[in-house]
Structure formats: C-alpha cells, structure tokens
C-alpha cells in the first residue's frame, strides 16, 4: 500500500475515533436513538471534503459500523443497514463538492437524513397500524435532531475547520 | 468524559462468549429475520426458548439485558399504544374518544413481544462479543465481497485503529482541556453559545494532532512492512469449533420451528 494512501486511511480511522468521542457528548437525546451531538459528523464531513467522496463514503460506512458495534439500536433487520452503514456512508457525499462547504455539508447530512427517513418509514410500516401518516412522522422525527446537527456542522466546518479542507496546509500547523 | 467504557461487552468465558464472532453475527441476523416470519403467538415459543437458552449459557444476568431495553422503552410503549388505540375491532374499553379493541390489544402485545425479543437477541451479541472481535468478524464476513470491490480489509482496519485510538484521543482531549484551563480557558460557565465557542480551542488542537498522528502511524506501519490486507496473516485466527456447529444446529431448529408455525399450523 502506498504511503499516501495508508496515511489517508489512518487519518480516516482517527477521524472516526474523534467522531465517536463527540457522539458520546449529547446535549439532546431524541427518544428513538437519534441525538443532537457536539457535531459528531464534522470529522467525517471534513475527511470527505479533504479526500473526496469515495474515501469519505468508506470512512462513513466504517463509522456507521462502529456505531453499530458500540451502541446498537436495533428494531428491524432492514433498519440496521439503513440506520448505520448506509446513513453514515452517505455523509461521504459531502466530498463531491470540493471546497463548496455549504453544499457539501448540506448534501452529506441530507443523505443521512434520507436514509434514516426511509428506515423510519419501514419500521412504522411493519409496526404501526395502517392509516398513520408515516411519512410525516418519520421526516419530523429525524429532522428534529438532524436539523440542529446540520446547523452545528455548518458553523463548525465554515468557521472552525475551513482551513483543514485545503489539504496539506495543515502540515504547516503540525510543528 | 473519563471512564466511558466503549461498547456493552461484559467479559466472560461462557459457551456463548467463546463462539466465533462470525457465528454470532450470522445467527443474530437469522434470528432477526425469523422473528418477522412468525405471525401468531404460538410461534414465539421458539425464539423465546432460544433466547432463554442462550442467556443461561452466556451467564449474563437478566439485569444487563433489561438495561438494554431501557433506551428503547419509548419506542416499545409507542408501538403498544398506537396499536392499542388505532386498530378497529371489538371494543373492550372506552376512554373518551379513544377505544381499546380486542384486536388492538392482541396486535399491540404481539408487536411489543417481537420488539423485545429483537432487542434482547441483538444485545446478547454485543454483551458477549467485544467491539474488536465483532470488527474481526465483520471483516471476515465481508471478505468474499472484496472480489466485487468491497474494501473489507480497509473498512475493518479503520474500525480497528479507531477503536484502539478512542481512549488515547480521549486522554489527549483531557490534556488539551487542562492545558487550555491553565491558560485561563473557562468551559463551564456562560450561555450555550459561549460554551459552544469554548469547545473550539479543544477541537482544533485535537484535529491537528490527529492529522499528525496519522502521518506518524503510517510511517510506523510502513516500516513494519504493512502492505494492506493481501496475504496478511493474523496472530489470533478466527476458528470455528464444534460449539459453533452446535449453535448453527440450534438455529436450524429455531428456523424450522418458526417456519412451521407460519406455514403448517
């Protein structure tokens, strides 16, 4: 494995570690497992914007699987896939937009939202009686914690971590 | 921030602890799907017996499993209440505009039982398997898919390194916090915006040190001839034993029971 690729891989691993630590800090815990954290998606978003969407998706999937291994919230077989590897993997889409951070962060978190939204719909379809407005509830529930997260992530990426996205510039910080 | 144990793993050396992680992951997945095959109460006899047997074998106290249910209490209650009130049928009891029906009670209890079994079944996996072992299991199970481009090794490597460095980075966070406090930083007063801002001088050094650490670790791994997943050997090789076989047979019986309860009775 090439040195650069290896160092990128490890950078991803450490971003996942930071994301996991941040995910332990929950100012608000929603009732069904979702929560507003201290910007726990920022490391993954940042990593995707630094290294591109493909690597970002891989790191997102790894982060999702790690969340699953550490703090599982399992209520349905399909929900497991949608809420963990897929939802967090889609965060990597933020890498598609280069330095256009507002677009990147929004699309990444929107991807995660869609995955959780679908998972919520599937869960309620199989557990709740007919005739409920499943689409609305799932959107409202998932939006309730992802919207604040989106705001936190946007602010953090724009005002705190912007300089890290220009790759290699951070090397000058390192000594 | 200190003393957070990562994951729910309870160390032990029971028959369930000793099972190969791949066996446990596969069986848990099969168990989850089988629960959805069952369509009446009699079918639950099999998963209930399966879970009780597995719990006794694992030697994990019921307290821990009940604790696992607690964060999901809301969704369990909601499922019950929605079914109880929204399903039309023979009315048993009326509270104002709401009415509890026989069918609602039946359906609600049925759904709740399924959810509880699902949660207890899956928590048995995380209670008896450490995160790192689970990661090994995931890597091994994904390996066949690497032919179609699933980077199984890279995925598992990232998870493993992340798991290894979570405690290290937490310690580092603590150090940075103390260093900033020595410089007069105040993390515990002020309104929410002020507090959020006070986190910035912790996060920035944390990220910078993570980037630097990534470079150093890459160099260290390269000097030890790490060359990706191909032909890599392991110190602890995953090995299936007769216990795994027994577990698969038990799952086979469970599957037969669940399928029979749906299609034969």
> Are B86 and A132 a contacting pair at CB < 8 A?
yes
Rounding to the nearest 10 degrees, give the CA dihedral for residues A50, A54, A57, A61: -120
Give the Cβ contact number of residue B114 at 10 Å: 20
B175 Cβ under 8 Å from any chain A Cβ: no
Instruction: Give the per-residue pLDDT at A78.
Output: 92
Shortest CA distance to A61 belongs to which of A26, A16, A101? A16
Q: Look at A75 and B29 and tell me if their CB atoms are within 8 Å.
A: no
**Which residues of A fall within a CB distance of 8 Å from B39?**
none
Name residue A36's beta-bridge partners. Answer: A28
CB pairs under 8 A between A and B: 170
Give A143's contacts (C-beta < 8 A, 6+ positions apart): A113
Number of structural domains in chain A:
1
Provide the token pair at A115: 């995955």
Cα distance between residue A169 and residue A158, in whole Å: 16
Answer whether A69 sits within 8 Å of B74, measured CB to CB: no
Q: What is the ipTM of this complex?
A: 0.89
Residue A10: burial class (beta carbons within 10 Å; 0-12, 13-18, 19+): buried
Name every chain B residue with its beta carbon within 8 A of the beta carbon of A132: 82, 86
Q: What pLDDT sits at residue A168?
A: 54
Q: Model-level pTM?
A: 0.90
**Residue A61, token pair as written in the block:** 């999937």
Cα-Cα-Cα-Cα torsion B31, B35, B41, B46, nearest 10 degrees, comes to -10
pLDDT per position as a tens digit, A92-149: 999 999 888 899 999 999 999 999 999 999 988 887 777 678 888 889 989 999 999 9
Hey, are the CB atoms on A73 and B71 less than 8 Å from each other? yes
Task: Please tell me the predicted confidence (pLDDT) of residue B5.
Answer: 64
Residues of chain B in contact with residue A48, where contact means CB-CB under 8 angstroms, are none
Name the more confident of B86 and A84. A84
**CATH number of A122's domain:** 1.10.1760.20
Mean pLDDT, range A28-56, rounded to an integer: 87
> What residue has token string 């150090």?
B175
The pLDDT value given to residue A173: 46
The pLDDT value given to residue B3:
46
- Substitution target from B77, B136, B207 for chain A, most A beta carbons within 10 A: B207
Helices A53-70 and A3-23: crossing angle in degrees, nearest 10, is: 40
CB B218 within 8 A of CB A7: yes
Report pLDDT for A167.
Answer: 58
Predicted local distance difference test score (pLDDT) of residue B29: 94
- Whether B70 contacts chain A with CB within 8 A: no
Of A22, A144, A150, the closest CA to residue B4 belongs to A22
Q: What is the mean pLDDT of residues A158-166?
A: 81
Per residue in B248-257, pLDDT (tens digit) is 999 999 999 9
Instruction: Nearest chain A residue to B165 by CA: give it.
Output: A17
Collect all residues with Cβ–Cβ distance below 8 Å to B178 and sequence separation of at least 6: none
Domain ranges of chain B: 1-153+236-265, 162-227
A109 found inside a domain = yes
CB distance A53 to B195 below 8 Å? no
**Residues in a beta bridge with B94:** B99
Higher pLDDT, B10 or A25: B10
Chain A nearest C-alpha distance from B187 (Å): 14
Query: How many whole angstroms separate alpha carbon B139 and alpha carbon B142?
Result: 5
Q: Supply the DSSP string of A43-100, one letter for each residue.
A: HHHHHHHHH-HHHHHHHHHHHHHHHHHHS---S-HHHHHIIIIIHHHHGGGGGGGTT-
Return the residue in A2, A13, A41 with the most chain B beta carbons within 10 A, the one to mutate for interface testing: A13
Residues of chain B with confidence (pLDDT) below 50: 1-3
Question: Quick check: is A57 in a domain?
Answer: yes
CA distances from A134 to A29, A114, A138, B4 (A): 21, 14, 6, 36
Q: Is residue A38 part of a domain?
A: yes
Mean of pLDDT over chain A: 87
Cβ contact, residue pair A127, B210, below 8 Å: no
Integer Cα distance of A38 and A22 in angstroms = 6
**Chain A residues within 8 A of B221 when measuring between CB atoms:** 6, 10
Chain A contact for B98, CB < 8 A?
A: no
Mutant choice from A7, A8, A11, A14 vs B, greatest count of B C-beta within 10 A: A14
Report the C-alpha gap between B159 and A59 in whole angstroms.
9
Q: Which has more confidence, A66 or B4?
A: A66
CA distances in angstroms from B151 to A70, B141, B230, B234, listed in the order given? 21, 12, 11, 18
Nearest to A69 by CA among B30, B138, B113, B209: B138
Q: pLDDT above 90 covers what percent of chain A?
A: 54
Q: Which residues in chain A touch residue B82, judged by CB atoms under 8 angstroms apart?
A: 128-129, 132
> Which residues of chain B neighbour A20 with C-beta distances below 8 Å?
6, 162, 166
Q: Which residues 231-250 of B are in CB contact (within 8 Å) with A? A: none
Owning domain of residue A52? 3-164
Taking phi first (over 0 means left), then psi (-120 to 50 degrees means alpha), and beta for anything else, what does residue B127 get?
A: alpha
Check residue A37 and give its pLDDT: 84
- Residues of B whose CB is below 8 A from A127: 79, 83, 111, 115
Residue A175 placed within a domain? no
């Amino acid at each position: 494995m090439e040195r650069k690729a290896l160092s990128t891989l490890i950078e991803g691993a450490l971003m996942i570690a930071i994301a996991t630590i941040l995910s332990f800090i929950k100012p608000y815990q929603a009732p069904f497992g979702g929560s507003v954290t201290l910007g726990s998606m920022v490391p993954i978003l940042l990593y995707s914007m630094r290294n591109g969407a493909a690597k970002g998706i891989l790191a997102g999937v790894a982060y999702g699987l790690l969340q699953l291994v550490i703090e599982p919230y399992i209520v349905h077989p399909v929900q497991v896939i949608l809420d963990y590897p897929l939802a967090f993997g889609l965060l990597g889409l933020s890498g598609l937009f280069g330095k256009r951070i507002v677009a990147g962060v929004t699309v990444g978190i929107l991807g995660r939202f869609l995955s959780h939204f679908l998972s919520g719909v599937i869960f309620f379809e199989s557990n709740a009686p007919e005739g409920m407005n499943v689409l609305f509830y799932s959107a409202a529930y998932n939006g309730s914690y992802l919207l604040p997260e989106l705001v936190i992530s946007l602010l953090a990426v724009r005002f705190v971590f912007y300089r890290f996205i220009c790759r290699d510039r951070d090397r000058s910080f390192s000594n | 921030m200190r003393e957070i144990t990562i994951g729910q793993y309870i160390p032990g050396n029971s028959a369930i602890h000793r099972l190969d992680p791949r066996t446990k992951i596969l069986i848990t997945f099969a168990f989850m799907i089988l629960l959805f095959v069952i369509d009446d109460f009699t079918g639950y006899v099999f998963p209930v017996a399966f879970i009780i047997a597995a719990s006794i074998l694992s030697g994990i106290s019921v307290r821990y499993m009940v604790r696992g249910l607690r964060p999901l209490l809301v969704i369990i209650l909601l499922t019950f209440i929605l079914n109880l009130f929204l399903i039309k049928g023979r009315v048993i009891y009326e509270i104002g505009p709401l009415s509890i029906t026989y069918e609602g009670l039946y359906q609600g209890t049925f759904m709740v039982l399924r959810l509880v079994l699902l949660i207890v079944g899956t928590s048995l996996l995380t209670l008896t398997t450490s995160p790192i072992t689970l990661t090994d299991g995931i890597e091994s199970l994904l390996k066949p898919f690497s032919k179609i481009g699933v980077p199984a090794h890279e995925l598992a490597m990232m998870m493993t390194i992340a798991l290894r460095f979570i405690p290290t980075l937490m310690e580092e966070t603590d150090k940075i916090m103390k260093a900033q406090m020595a410089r007069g930083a105040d993390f515990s007063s002020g309104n929410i915006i002020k507090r959020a801002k006070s986190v910035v001088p912790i996060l920035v050094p944390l990220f910078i040190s993570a980037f630097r650490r990534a470079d150093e670790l890459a160099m260290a791994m390269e000097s030890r001839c790490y060359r990706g997943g191909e032909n890599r050997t392991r110190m602890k090789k995953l090995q299936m034993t007769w216990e795994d076989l027994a577990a698969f047979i038990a799952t086979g019986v469970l599957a037969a029971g669940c399928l029979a309860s749906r299609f034969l009775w």
